[in-house]
Amino acid sequence: MDKRNIISNKSKIKILFLSAEVTPLAKVGGLGDVAGALSKALAKLGLDIRICLPFYGLIDQKKYPAKKIISQLTVPVGDTNEIIDVYQTNLPNTKIPIYLIKNNFFNPKKIYSGGRIMLDGKYTRQPDDLNRFAFFTLAALATAKKLNFQPGVVHANDWHTALAADFIKTLNQQNNFFAKTKTLYTIHNLANQGLTKGKNYMAEGVLNSDLVNTVSPTYAKEILTKEYGAGLEKILIKRKKQLSGILNGIDTDFFNPATDKFIKRHYSVRSLAAKSTNKTALQSQLGWPRNKNTALVGLVTRFVRQKGVDLITEKFSRLNCQFIFLGAGEKKYEDALLNLAKKYPRQFSVKIKFDERLAHEIYAASDIFLVPSRFEPCGLTQMIAMRYGSVPVVRLTGGLADTVNKKNGFTFKKFTASEFYKILSQALKIYYEKPKAWQQLKLSGLKQNFSWDKSAKQYLKLYRKPRRIDKIKNFC
């Protein structure tokens, strides 16, 4: 056994990890990254972790070949029965099993439904996500039972699998397979709750799970307030004693300027000057003159309300810098940014798409990185930016407040365009007028450790905590 493992085989904790996304098999955003990277870090600690994921039609079966391990398993759902097959693949480059639950519910080529989808040449309405994910959760538990995998902890994530604790209670009334199983529920984003008439999946997860956590210490406090609680603050306050915040890490192998396969020139703390080659390369690519002295300001995000891109106004064109924005999302935010690029083409470049390569190029090329979020459970982009020596300018909220400070970046509190403008102006002033201070800012970001190792140990502590003792009355 690996010497780094801190758990002996005897006490190996068994974890059943339920997630709607797992990178690299099926990813939409941060949830997938966390599921993939946290599982790896937990396995490194010696845990027996097994992941359950729906067998979506979009999973590339050539890249991730899977073997059928269960045929035609009956899963009782209310008064009817559904049949599933279960396939197994491993998380790439690990021995962590991923159980892929196959059922017609998950055939569509999308992870989340967005109305109608094209299937076999015809438009079909995607089955309701609420039912699909409730079924997935039930099917995952049935799979564990069939495989005789008796988990010490079922770790559910976000609203999709929030009903796990509820289902376990019901299943334990039938037999005692999960009698010793604890439940941990992780909130990755309170904004999506899985709401249906008379039921809120997120609320059920918060109320019924033994322990609850979210993805940064500051967000764990913020969600107890009306401003950030998204209507669930009262429920969350009831679980305050069992609620904690564990900061996400980033995949420091995938995001590494010294080895990154997407960028023009590699660099590290010791060869930071080489970073500017990436800037001039990107300037050329965008059709701008190459000038390594001009400050390049980057932003990579989903263009949605949460991310605060509406704080970037026309006034920003007065600043002495170039802007490169990459993202996709709601049309109104896309259009507002595209208008800036149309009006000031030599200063703003806006790319509307999901593009992993360009994202890495921006992290490597930029001097400053913007994250003006309205709220931010954790946020990965500010950490990635720092790892690439790009100095973050962020709103002081959630995980941004836990990772960015005066030593490694710039923060503003009040969510207004003028505050954001003011702090970005200050950052640019230091960039142009105080090169030594700027170098220090870059270096302190670059030297930080954003790996998952520390956070995985905190999850391990939660897994080892005893079951909840207080009895919460059902709030719904």
Positions 404 through 423 that interact with ligand ADP (CB under 6 A): none
Binding ligand ADP (rule: CB under 6 A), the pick from 147, 224, 274, 328 is 328
The verdict on 200 binding ligand ADP (CB under 6 A) reads no
Separation CA 165–CA 291 (nearest Å):
57
Closest alpha carbon to 29 in 15, 19, 16, 41: 19
Among residues 354, 415, 432, 475, which is the contact residue for ligand ADP, using CB under 6 A?
Answer: 354
> Under a CB-based contact definition with an 8 Å cutoff, are residues 472 and 206 in contact?
no
Our CB check for ligand ADP shows the closer of 30 and 108 to be 30
The Cα-based distances of 253 to 58, 90, 257, 258, 261 in angstroms read: 25, 19, 9, 10, 11
Taking the complex as a whole, the smallest distance from the CB of residue 355 to ligand ADP amounts, in Å, to 5
441 counts as binding ligand ADP under rule CB under 6 A: no
Among 134-142, 355-363, 408-416, 465-473, which window interacts with ligand ADP (CB under 6 A)?
355-363
Q: How far is it, in rounded angstroms, from Cα 297 to Cα 303?
A: 17
User: Is residue 300 at the binding interface for ligand ADP, with CB under 6 A as the rule?
Assistant: yes
Q: Site mask, ligand ADP, residues 241-280, x = CB under 6 A?
A: ----------------------------------------
Structural contact between residues 65 and 83, judged by C-beta atoms closer than 8 angstroms: no
**355 in contact with ligand ADP (CB under 6 A):** yes
Which residue, 94 or 192, has its beta carbon nearer to ligand ADP? 192
Alpha-carbon dihedral angle through residues 157, 329, 130, 175, given to the nearest 10 degrees: -10
Burial of residue 449 (CB within 10 Å: 0-12, 13-18, 19+) is exposed
Of 61-69, 132-140, 299-307, 464-472, the window that binds ligand ADP (rule: CB under 6 A) is: 299-307
The residue from 301, 347, 390, 455 that contacts ligand ADP (CB under 6 A) is 301
Spell out, one character per residue from 358 to 387, where the chain touches ligand ADP: x when CB under 6 A holds, - when not: -x------------------xxxx--x---
Q: For residue 368, what are the contacts with CB-CB under 8 A and spacing of at least 6?
A: 295, 296, 297, 298, 321, 390, 391, 392, 393, 424, 427, 428, 431
Phi, then psi, of 136 in degrees rounded to 5 = -55, -45
Element (H or E) spanning 349, and its range? strand 348-352
For ligand ADP, the binding residues in 16-35 under the rule CB under 6 A are 29-30
Query: How far does CA 36 lie from the centroid of its chain?
Result: 10
42 binds ligand ADP (CB under 6 A): no
Shorter beta-carbon distance to ligand ADP: residue 97 or 379: 379
In angstroms, give the least distance from the CB of 215 to ligand ADP: 8
> Which is nearer to ligand ADP, 84 or 365 (by Cβ)?
365
Q: By C-beta, is 182 or 188 nearer to ligand ADP?
A: 188
Rg (alpha carbons) of the chain, rounded to whole number: 23
Q: Which is nearer to ligand ADP, 134 or 380 (CB)?
A: 380
**Angle, helices 129-146/164-174, rounded to nearest 10 degrees:** 50
User: Reading across the β-sheet that carries 296-303, which strands appear in turn?
Assistant: 348-352, 322-329, 296-303, 368-371, 391-395, 410-412
Q: In degrees rounded to 5, what are phi and psi of residue 62?
A: -75, -45
Position 432 contacts ligand ADP (CB under 6 A): no
457 contributes a contact to ligand ADP by CB under 6 A: no
Q: Per CB under 6 A, does 391 bind ligand ADP?
A: no
Applying CB under 6 A, among 220, 326, 350, 446 the residue interacting with ligand ADP is 326
Structure tokens at 90: 């491993």
- The tokens for 40 are 């790896």
Provide the minimum distance between the beta carbon of 30 and ligand ADP in the complex, in angstroms, as a whole number.
3
Q: Which residue is nearest to ligand ADP (CB)?
A: 30
Closer to ligand ADP by Cβ: residue 415 or 432 = 415
* CB neighbourhood size of 155 (10 A): 29
Which lies closer to ligand ADP via its Cβ, residue 29 or residue 92?
A: 29
Positions touching ligand ADP (CB under 6 A) are: 29-30, 300-302, 326-328, 354-356, 359, 378-381, 384
